[in-house]
Amino acid sequence: MTEQYHIRGRTTKEIAASVEALVARGTLSPGTQLPSVRRLAGDLGVSPTTAAAALRELARRGIVVSEERRGSTVSPRPPVATPPPAPLLPPGVRDLTTGDPDPALLPDLAAALGELEVPVRLYGGDPAVPELLELARADIASLGVPAEHLCVVSGALDGVERVLAAQLRPGDRVAVEDPGYPNALDLLRALGLVPVPVAIDDAGMLPDALARALAAGAGAVLVTPRSQNPTGAALDARRAAELRAALGRAPDVLVIEDDHLGAVAGVPAHTVVPGSARWAFVRSVAKSLGPDLRLAFIAGDAETVARVGGRLQLGPGWVSHVLQRLVLRLLRDPAVAALRERAARTYQARRDALIAALAAHGVAAHGRTGMNVWIPVPDEATAVRALLQEGWAVRPGAEYRLESPPAIRVTTAALEPEEAERLAEALARALEPGRRTRAA
């Protein structure tokens, strides 16, 4: 196997660099199984200690994922530039894999840009447009989140990464939802952090599961207050209070909330950050105004926001004021506000239509909020393959899961209700009457 992939090297550094180069070229694709420590050491003529150290270094940087029983595989999204994947879907297949918002429910950016007045900005000055910061402060405070300290970053995951880098060190453990957002899981691994799975239901993290993760040494927790990806879970007032109580027993834990869907979530945000000493609340505009608007706000404790803002100034300096003023103009536009309200109603109707259609065929699913529906299945590969044969592309759940059972994810953002019935019928056929599953 090693010879097949042309892994080379005699030292830990050389072996790790060889694997990284193969991943970057696309020779080793995501999910590829790597040789065992013994096989790698034998093929290269090095000690098992050297081979194991190379795999640990690759795992520390998120290039591979190592599990005790499965060995090491290439990460689903390794943090190195790789060739773009070739189109995998045959013509005519309905693509429900993306997680994207419906373009028809996004504002017209070209029209807004045509009306935008942007003063010349040189180096120095405020990193954030003051009017935008005040608007964001009022919006976040209305959710019950303290917003005295605030900064602007380039999207939700950029904000999450900056907070993690500001407060944690490689090797630290982070409690995460399971199933959870794979990009966040890969980001943790790329930073050398260790994801600790916390089971969830439709109301979010289970308090007892979070308490166990904290007792096991998790120094941070990453929470989605609503529209959790992939399950659509959303905290209610009771669950948020229970999670705050669990976090209150671990006062030094860093708490990060990612409100990525924001205004189009369709339900109120119940926050867990009040009472925490170290915390950040990240609110993105990408899903409601457009994914190409790489902008999010971070509210947090004074130290965390100061560290994030200071590091930002040492690197890119600031998020483009052209972009900030465009977002400000959109957020002030009553027509855009009405469009976002319509989007929230539409996303809910489309989710509900699929869940109802599945229920009529005896198939349970999760999708309380958000743009996706999570459907437990006995075997992901079988379900995905069967649906593809009938013209539907859905996402296998493996990349979202750490310990939770198999499922598939369907993006419903642009799925019309009349399509939902056909998809439900196809999935019911794929599962077969005796193999339908209950909700986890």
Which residue ranges make up each domain of the chain? Answer: 2-74, 94-103+336-435, 126-332
Instruction: Please work out, in degrees rounded to the nearest 5, the angle formed at the alpha carbon of residue 373 by the alpha carbons of 270 and 99.
Output: 85
Distance CA(126)–CA(323), nearest Å, equals: 15
Q: Which fold has domain 2-74?
A: Arc Repressor Mutant, subunit A (1.10.10)
Q: Report the pLDDT value the prediction gives residue 440, as an integer from 0 to 100.
A: 40
Beta strands 194-201 and 173-178 are: parallel
Q: Are 265 and 273 in contact (CB under 8 A)?
A: no
**In angstroms, how far is CA 364 from the centroid of its own chain?**
23
Mean pLDDT across 340-369? 97
CA distances from 385 to 150, 162, 382 (A): 46, 38, 5
Q: Report the pLDDT value the prediction gives residue 1, as an integer from 0 to 100.
A: 45
Q: Are 305 and 150 in contact (CB under 8 A)?
A: yes
Residue 336 pLDDT more than 50?
A: yes
Judge: domain 94-103+336-435, CATH 3.90.1150.10: yes
Q: Report the pLDDT value the prediction gives residue 208, as an integer from 0 to 100.
A: 98
Mean pLDDT across 111-122? 89
Query: pTM for the complete prediction?
Result: 0.86
Q: Report the pLDDT value the prediction gives residue 4, as an integer from 0 to 100.
A: 55
Q: Report the pLDDT value the prediction gives residue 24, as an integer from 0 to 100.
A: 87
Q: Average model confidence (pLDDT) for the chain? A: 92
Mean pLDDT across 11-31? 88
Distance CA(281)–CA(270), nearest Å, equals: 12
Residue 432 pLDDT more than 90?
A: no
The DSSP 8-state label assigned to residue 33 in this structure reads B
Q: Is the link from the previous residue into 179 a cis peptide, with omega within 30 of 0?
A: yes
Q: Report the pLDDT value the prediction gives residue 435, as an integer from 0 to 100.
A: 46
**In angstroms, how far is CA 390 from the centroid of its own chain?**
29
Higher per-residue pLDDT: 392 or 6: 392
- 68-77, 123-132, 224-233, 395-404: the lowest-pLDDT one: 68-77
Q: Report the pLDDT value the prediction gives residue 388, as an integer from 0 to 100.
A: 95
Residue 188 pLDDT more than 90?
A: yes
Residue 439 pLDDT more than 50?
A: no
Token pair, residue 297, equals 């706000």
pLDDT-derived band at 437 (thresholds 50, 70, 90) equals very low
Q: Are 233 and 204 in contact (CB under 8 A)?
A: yes
- Where helices occur in 7-71 by DSSP H, the ranges are 12-25, 37-44, 48-60
Q: Which residue in 251, 307, 300 sits closest to 280, CA to CA?
A: 300
Q: Report the pLDDT value the prediction gives residue 436, as an integer from 0 to 100.
A: 44
Q: Report the pLDDT value the prediction gives residue 378, as an integer from 0 to 100.
A: 95
Residue 302 pLDDT more than 90?
A: yes
Q: Report the pLDDT value the prediction gives residue 120, as an integer from 0 to 100.
A: 87
Token pair, residue 144, equals 């019950």
Mean pLDDT across 223-229? 97
Write down the CATH number for the domain with range 126-332: 3.40.640.10
